[in-house]
Structure 1
Amino acid sequence: MNLFLEQLVGIAQYYPVLLKGIGITLALSAIGIVAGSMAGFLLGIGRASANKPLRFVIGAYTDIFRGTPVLVQVFVVFFILPEAGIELGSFTAGALALTNITACFISEIVASGIRAVPRGQLEAAASAGLTRFQQMRLVVLPQATRMIVPSLVGQFVLLVKDSSVVSAIGLFDLTRSGWVIVQNIPNGLLVFALVGIGYFLICYPLIHLSRRLEKR
């Protein structure tokens, strides 16, 4: 018991390390959520369009990234792109990989929501003289967004958890901070239990929001 308390006190001395890790995780997650959502909506609109070649290209692109591990994608961005002359720092590489994978998943969510809007809504909008852009902006997207919001929030939670893979490229996120602390406090169970609590505290507000939206 005394040893446990000593280790707990020792971990408490590393709170700046944990705070730094939490800050990086929050920054990566925020970038992935904002940029991934914008790109995902654009891809989703294209995925649900009447243009078959466009649907095929977007579908193939998203399937490739949705069907491969996030860690592999992070490695490709960080280690392979420099060979093509594109030098990226670890934070930029991590943010880019997470944004891309988030956009791919969100695109399918958005496309499904658009397809769920009754066809009669588009026909009514067209008969009212609305252009295709106006139909999408004023009729389709408002209805689709209400249906897909719970799924979107769930994807945001997955993004926060997936962000832990960036520790593999040396980025000092919450998971990496745990590895640093465990080198000095040899109690992996205790250290990573606290790291897990940190992720839970970040994700729980999103989980709670998703549940409320599903009920509504």
Structure 2
Amino acid sequence: MEWWNEREQKDKTEIIQKCKIMSNEQFEVWLLNECKWKNEITKDDITSIRFSIDSYLKFIKTNLENKEEEWTACVIIDEIKKVIKMKELSFEELLRQTYHCLESKAFQKINNENLKLQLVDMRNNIIESDEDVMKEFESNEPTFKIIWISFQQSIILGKTKTIKNALVILIAISEYNDNDKWKNLKNVKEKDSKNFKQLFELELNYEM
């Protein structure tokens, strides 16, 4: 119906609301005698208006059912904030959309420097599960950050493990000459102790 199609959205909303809460008779009286378009409408138009309303509501319902729900979040990549839209609240979807944000120079950086991407929240808590993602979406503005981690170095953000006698575990069976510097490890050479110290500090993130 041409008259219906010419109405603005706010007018359509008002008409639909009246149609929903009124009986057929009341709605007809409102259209013919009370609404602001009463001088444009005749009794013969009522059926067409009802049909237009029903068709419009079915169209809206179909669109809503077919439209996939989306969740919006922000991802900070090298201090640049980008907006992503996720089709589901999962870690896999977050990772997928984050990779879509990366520019070619980011992939070059990954390849050239042998890096991997790590997602964290704004408190530097590692994001690695669906539960982590859902928890962040409880905030008004879910925001994630990308940090770059070397494959040769395992970094645990905000956590430090301390181990005592770590060197003993790996090298107590070594058979080297005495070294006065390491009196508790008589058979360890200085170069070996440095190697093991580096292993635990850099690779395993232990304090020595």
Q: TM-score range by the shorter chain?
A: under 0.3
Which structure: greater strand fraction? 2
**TM-score if structure 2 supplies the norm length?**
0.23
Larger Rg: 2
**TM-score if structure 1 supplies the norm length?**
0.22
